[in-house]
Amino acid sequence: MAKQYDYLLLGGGTSCGYAAAAIRDRDKNGSIGIVSADNQPPYDRPPLSKGFLKNPDLSLSDIHSKDESFYPDNGIELHLGVRCEALDRSAKSARLSDGSEVSYGKLLYALGSTPRRLDYPGSQNAVVLRTGADGESLRAKAPAAKSVVIVGAGYIGSEVSATLRAVDVEVTLLELGDSVMPGLPSKPTRAAVRDELERLGVHVQEGDTVVEADSTLVTCRSGRVISADLVLHAVGVKPNVELGSSAGLEVGNWGIRADSTLKTPDPSIWVAGDIAEYAEPITGRDYHAEHHLHAKWTGEHVGACMAGDAREYRKVPYFFSDVGRLSIILRGWPELADRSFVLGNLEEPAFSEVFVKNDGRVIGFVDVREDYKAQDPICDLFERLIGEGADLSSRLRDLENPSFDVLSLA
């Protein structure tokens, strides 16, 4: 007989951990099951590219989203090391890779994404960084490597480059685009990150990638040959939509489609985290994001909705990254802006960039500095301004002054 759950959470990542907590806060008795291909309970991924990577004393239990006692204490059952292989939405059941079947009343689809891998002769030996096991493997291999080549200079590639330099590993960072962090819509921030990486001793090479590799050498498209004992692919991810698509859930341009509450057209299924492509109510556009806080916040939101507290998901996006001494925070949707204003000191660096629409509405914000504590009040201010759609038309002349104090916008 199939195991029955009132709430079945598929994926087992950050979203599932926080969704389970939100459910239990509101429903003290409903049965909850979490299914994860990982052999760990839900954990927070940001340390994998930073503190966990350089500190051999940290274990995966140190980055768990919840204490291990949380799950048994709250009657939450974990199915670890198993995958969901099929969904039957009409029967409201899931077939797992261990041969068992579970049924559900409500389901969270939070299967996340899978790192992309480049295809070239020797690419099968490259590593990626997504799971805790990936983090343990990279941490074990890096100290013995004389030189590491990292392909892709986005968040993960830049963070890992800086972290490996902190433990004296030689690093070459290749980016096929024309700058590090190519997806970040802030030219000053991209420049600051590149400067910091070079200060740390990372060899940054834009406009180049790997075309061939063996156990000791990497050949680049430019013809450059680099000595490397280890290659890391950090070239983005692809959403794990196949299970949902096979079950008849709607797949959008990125992930599984949902409304502004994060519910799919199937009234029993919600989405959260990387996989969610939803009707974002502040901008009126379809949106998805790949970041820790998005996974946490959407998980908390969906857990509340599943337990009966249904409402729109209205959160101003929050991305953060640490590269060397730099703390980088992004709020909102700067990619939708028509113009921006840079305030502060680019050389230090300690600056903010404010992004506005042609009608004066503030739509995004980026802040870069070493003093991360100074970012909190600025970040909170712009969360409010962006969420309100504040009109800064009367302050544009002020914003043209690099010495203008953004906190005065309060």
Q: Reduced to 3 states, what is the DSSP secondary structure of residue 210? A: strand
Q: Which pLDDT score, from 0 to 100, does residue 1 have?
A: 67
Among 131, 140, 129, which Cα is nearest to 54's? 140
CA–CA distance from 4 to each of 104, 304, 314, 342 (Å)?
6, 20, 32, 55
C-beta separation of 369 from 343 below 8 A:
no
Q: Reduced to 3 states, what is the DSSP secondary structure of residue 137? A: helix
- Quote the CA–CA distance of 21 and 264 in Å, as a whole number: 21
Q: What kind and span of H or E run contains 48?
A: none
Give the sheet arrangement for strand 170-175, strand by strand. Answer: 203-206, 170-175, 147-151, 230-233
- Quote the CA–CA distance of 276 and 295 in Å, as a whole number: 9
- Quote the CA–CA distance of 289 and 333 in Å, as a whole number: 11
Identify the residue whose tokens are 């509101």.
26
Q: Which pLDDT score, from 0 to 100, does residue 68 have?
A: 86
- Our measurement of the distance from residue 77's CA atom to the centroid of its chain's CA atoms, rounded to an integer in Å, reads 26
Among 275, 222, 254, which Cα is nearest to 107's? 275
C-beta separation of 299 from 14 below 8 A:
yes
Q: Which pLDDT score, from 0 to 100, does residue 143 have?
A: 85
- The CATH architecture annotation of domain 325-409 reads 2-Layer Sandwich (3.30)
- Quote the CA–CA distance of 78 and 257 in Å, as a whole number: 26
Same fold, 3-114+237-306 and 117-233: yes
Largest CA distance in the chain: 69
C-beta separation of 227 from 146 below 8 A:
yes
Q: Which pLDDT score, from 0 to 100, does residue 146 have?
A: 85
Q: Sort 230 into a burial class: Cβ within 10 Å, 0-12 / 13-18 / 19+.
A: buried
Phi, psi of 88 (to 5 degrees): -115, 100
> Which CATH entry fits the domain spanning 117-233: 3.40.50.12280, 3.40.50.2000, 3.30.420.40, 3.50.50.60?
3.50.50.60
Q: Which residue(s) pair with 326 in the sheet?
A: 323
Residues listed for the chain: 410
C-beta separation of 36 from 273 below 8 A:
no
Q: Which pLDDT score, from 0 to 100, does residue 53 have?
A: 95
Q: Where are the domains of the chain?
A: 3-114+237-306, 117-233, 325-409
Kindly provide the b/e burial profile for residues 303-313, where b requires at least 16 CB atoms within 10 angstroms of the residue's own CB: bbbbbeeeebb
- What DSSP string runs through 332-386? E-GGG-SEEEEEEETTTTEEEEEEE-TTSBEEEEEEEES-GGGHHHHHHHHHHHH
The CB-side HSE value for 330 (13 A sphere, CA atoms) comes to 24
Instruction: Find the DSSP H helices in 204-319.
Output: 242-246, 292-306
Mind listing the pLDDT tens digit of every residue in the chain (410 residues)? 679 999 999 999 999 999 999 999 999 999 999 999 999 999 999 999 999 999 999 999 999 999 989 999 999 999 999 999 999 999 999 999 999 999 999 999 999 999 999 999 999 999 999 999 999 999 999 988 989 999 999 999 999 999 999 999 999 999 999 999 999 999 999 999 999 999 999 999 999 999 999 989 999 999 999 999 999 999 999 999 999 999 999 999 999 999 999 999 999 999 999 999 999 999 999 999 999 999 999 999 999 999 999 999 999 999 999 999 999 999 999 999 999 999 999 999 999 999 999 999 999 999 999 999 999 999 999 999 999 999 999 999 999 999 999 999 99
Q: Tell whether domain 3-114+237-306 is in CATH 3.50.50.60.
A: yes
